[in-house]
A = this chain, B = another copy of it.
């Protein structure tokens, strides 16, 4: 069972579709970095029980990603938004170098602010 970045992303997107218990186990395991044995001891169940619960939750999330593809879409969106932000920075720099226009600078900052907000949604 690999502890990896991808699983954290899937929990972000699909955690709300799991049961409260599944979410807790995943949180202990991925966020708090507890071992299966530690979780088992805290919860008063077997290590295998914890392992099965986490595996099942992971499969459910992977199946949801297979169907809805949110994590993949988000990564594309995120890439494009960073391109947009880079462009606004280039416009700002060009403006500074050439002392051109307050209007264009303001529009460019407005675009950057909107793109930064979108990265948070």
Contact = CB atoms under 8 A, between A and B. Distances in A.
B87 A107 contact: yes
A94 B102 CA distance: 11
A84 B114 CA distance: 7
Q: Is the interface of A mostly helix, strand, loop or mixed?
A: helix
A111 interface: yes
Contact of A77 (B16, B90, B100, B118): B118
A94 B104 contact: yes
Interface of A: 13-14, 16-17, 64, 67-68, 70, 73, 76-77, 80-81, 83-84, 87-88, 90-91, 94-95, 98, 100-101, 103-104, 107-108, 110-111, 114-115, 117-118, 121
